[in-house]
Amino acid sequence: MLTSVFIRCVLHFWALPLCFAAVYNNLDDLPSKAYDFVIVGGGTAGNVVANRLTETPETSVLVLEAGGT
């Protein structure tokens, strides 16, 4: 039991540095004006699709989310 919890924690924190996200409130703040894919809606499915698309490091993906307004 304790071993499986430890393994899950190690795997979770090992993958943490591989994730990157930023929130931009202004279009001019975006680091690029061209993206390979634009995903509208960052819900559960949108974020999974973005994650799969970025498995290739050369691919750039922009996820647009309205968020809580």
Number of domains present in the structure of the chain: 1
Residue 15 falls inside a structural domain: no
27-41 residue pLDDT tens: 888 888 889 999 998
Residue 18 falls inside a structural domain: no
**Cα(44)–Cα(55) distance, rounded to whole angstroms?**
17
Residue 64 falls inside a structural domain: yes
Structural domain including 58 reads 36-69
**What number is the average pLDDT over the span 7-33?**
70
Residue 17 falls inside a structural domain: no
pLDDT surpasses 80 at 15? no
| Beta pairing, strands 61-64 & 37-40 | parallel
**Cα(67)–Cα(33) distance, rounded to whole angstroms?**
21
Residue 69 falls inside a structural domain: yes
Which position has the higher pLDDT, 30 or 69? 30
Which position has the higher pLDDT, 67 or 28? 28
Residue 58 falls inside a structural domain: yes
How high is the pLDDT of residue 40? 92
How high is the pLDDT of residue 37? 93
How high is the pLDDT of residue 13? 59
Residue 23 falls inside a structural domain: no
